[in-house]
Amino acid sequence: MANDVILKVQNLDKSFGGLHAVDNVTFEVPQGFIKAVIGPNGAGKTTLFNMIAGTFAPDSGLVTLKDKVLTGLRPYQVAELGVFRTFQNLKLSSHMSVLDNVLLGRHTAGTAGFISGMLSLKKSRIEESDAREKVLEILEWLNITEIMNKEVGNLSFGKQRSVELARLLAADPEVLLLDEPAAGLNMHETDEMASLIVKIRDQGRTVLLVEHDMSLVMDISDEIVVLNFGQKIADGTAASVQNNREVIKIYLGGEDD
Amino acid sequence: MKLKRYYPIVLLAGVLVLIQLLTLITGTAYYLTQLTMAAYYVVVAVGLSMVMGYAGQISLGQAGFFAIGGYTTAVLTTIDLTKQINRPFFAFLDNIGLLVHKVTLYGDAIVHLTPWISFILALILAGIIAYAIGVPVLRLKGHYLGMATMGFGIIIYRIVLGTHIFGEADGISNVPAFPILPGITIGGDFSIRVINYYAAWFFVILAMVLLLNLINSRTGRALRSLHSGEDAADAMGVNTAQYKVKVFVIGAVFAAAAGVFITHYNGGIGPSESSVTKSVRYVAIVAVGGMANLWGVLIMGLVLNFLSLRGLFGVYDDAVFGIILVVIMMFFPDGLFQPSSLNRIKRILRGK
């Protein structure tokens, strides 16, 4: 493992009332890796994700991006540092066009404020045309140029997923947090998503994903963390995780115990 | 692409000239008074459209900001400073030309602040109050936010109604005209009616240009994204709390500016301008115009305010705006200027 660690999760802990959702979880994500978080329903995967993305704060523990502490930051501040997320049930601006949604992804790349925007100052105009150029490239890369003027609310679920991914890529993210990127997709779309995620990794980006689709996870992940009842029970390559006795037990049942 | 945005503005300017010429030919120049006032109310409405329609933050207290603008300038330009003129601060203001010396109808010499200063102070005050209210209140959503902003509107209404310096139920009269530039004075004198009509609509156009630019910019897109996806905006790096407060301040400053101009135009302001029914009226105009549709809001703001100011709705004035709001919410939630709404109207007219 020659790669430097980019994202580090240390002793993360969160309880909701009596439920210990995430229990002292520690793992590392090496730069340029696809790392998956798997586990049965209620294992604490999404809670873990929300804490990394700043949606809510952990009770204790630390998340760091290189030498920067993410814990305690609001989601927009986490995004400003280059960590961007998608959502399991898609969060798009449904009344806006595909183009506008993806342009929103360029938000952190710009700095023009309200006054600059209202007066249409040079800075605002240059940023806008740069953003459009970049966004059109991404739309083309994802093969969704032809729907760019459509309102997002009118698109199929699969297309909406592509738009969400396009928006994420527009932000030029260093780390992508993908929350069940294949949820709601058919087999063909899932395969396409898998190869896209690999391509994104090959651009030098780091991907942390939560996913239910085991074949997707096993196919593309460089490393896998397994959670069960909030605790980490395995962490390593796909092969090592597949052969882990405890993992087999939770996924195939525990009669042999 | 960029210039296309301004084509409707050119069209609007043409229509405005046409209207003025029509009133000239038909000898109905008195309409210009209501058209001028309607213009100022349109400025409030398009500002509110930005807050409500685009950013999705309801404000039922917009008349409060209008009143803050109007009353600030009314108080500051009607207080007689004759006794204070010798104090160093006021002498300094006088020396740099910020005080106006006048003789009243009764022959008394009075000195008051120039409206330019009160105008700027009114905008700053409205901005500060909007910020102070906005920071805590904009954490609320939906009808909770509506109630909180309505509470603010009621507070402003009761303050102006109950405070001596604001003229209580009588309001403030004898507010002087506002000489903005050489040859352009905001005031109600018949001799400057035409120039006031154009000045008022110039402000509408200015407001439109600023807002149209804004909605097509980085910040505008972030604002629009708040409407249906605050979580998404947040995840993409938009400081949602700050953006909401900023757009609220912009809406408030627009309302206050309109309040200042209309107060100088009318020569006074009364408490009814700050009433909740006025706030509801602005909301009704934004709703019927299509919420996030600046042009729709402009057109409906012009038409409805003009009809209202002409007295067409008689004693049922407020009721008419209430009915409009109910009907729009029930049958045309996207406003009148939507293909779906137009089809619906056609069907109703044809008898289904």
pLDDT (0 to 100) of residue A254: 57
A208 DSSP β-pair partners:
A35, A177
Tell me whether residues B228 and A105 touch, CB distance under 8 A. Answer: no
Which residues of A are less than 8 Å from B236 in CB distance?
A: 76, 79, 84, 104-105, 107-108, 167, 171
Average per-residue pLDDT for chain A: 92
In what helix (H) or strand (E) does residue B186 lie, and over which residues does it extend? strand B184-186
pLDDT tens across A6-65, in order?
999 999 999 998 899 999 999 999 999 999 999 888 889 999 999 999 999 999 999 999
The C-alpha atoms of residue B120 and residue B227 are separated, in whole angstroms, by 31
Q: Which of B214, B232, B240 sits opposite A93 (nearest CB)?
A: B232
Alpha helices (H) along A152-209:
157-170, 187-202
pTM: 0.92
pLDDT (0 to 100) of residue A257: 45
Alpha helices (H) along chain A:
45-53, 75-80, 98-104, 114-118, 122-141, 157-170, 187-202, 214-220, 238-242, 245-252
Taking CA atoms, A51 is separated from A54, A63, A176, A231, in Å, by 5, 8, 14, 15
Residue B13 has a CB neighbour count (10 Å cut-off) of 14
pLDDT (0 to 100) of residue B2: 61
pLDDT (0 to 100) of residue B352: 62
Q: Which residues of A touch B (CB under 8 A)?
A: 53, 55, 74-76, 79-80, 84-85, 87, 91-96, 100-101, 103-108, 110, 112-114, 116-120, 124-125, 127-128, 131, 167, 171
Whether B122 and B74 have beta carbons less than 8 Å apart is answered as no
Q: Residues near B152 by Cβ (< 8 Å), separated by ≥ 6?
A: B61, B64, B133, B137
Q: CA nearest B210 in A: which residue?
A: A118
Per-residue tokens: A131: 């953003």
With a cut of 60, say whether residue A140 has pLDDT above it: yes
Q: CA nearest A111 in B: which residue?
A: B218
Chain A CB within 8 Å of residue B229 CB: yes
Q: CA nearest B207 in A: which residue?
A: A118
In what helix (H) or strand (E) does residue B252 lie, and over which residues does it extend? helix B240-266
ipTM value? 0.89
Q: Which of B214, B224, B240 sits opposite A117 (nearest CB)?
A: B214
Q: Which of B215, B217, B242 to mutate to test the interface with A (most CBs of A within 10 A)?
A: B217
The C-alpha atoms of residue A152 and residue A166 are separated, in whole angstroms, by 13
Whether B259 and B69 have beta carbons less than 8 Å apart is answered as yes
10-residue stretch averages of pLDDT, chain B, 352 residues long:
79 95 93 96 97 94 97 94 85 87 79 93 98 95 92 96 94 93 91 95 97 94 89 94 96 98 96 94 94 93 95 92 91 81 80 68
With a cut of 50, say whether residue A188 has pLDDT above it: yes
Tell me whether residues B222 and A104 touch, CB distance under 8 A. Answer: yes
pLDDT tens across A63-83, in order?
999 999 999 999 999 999 999
Q: Residues near B179 by Cβ (< 8 Å), separated by ≥ 6?
A: B115, B185, B186
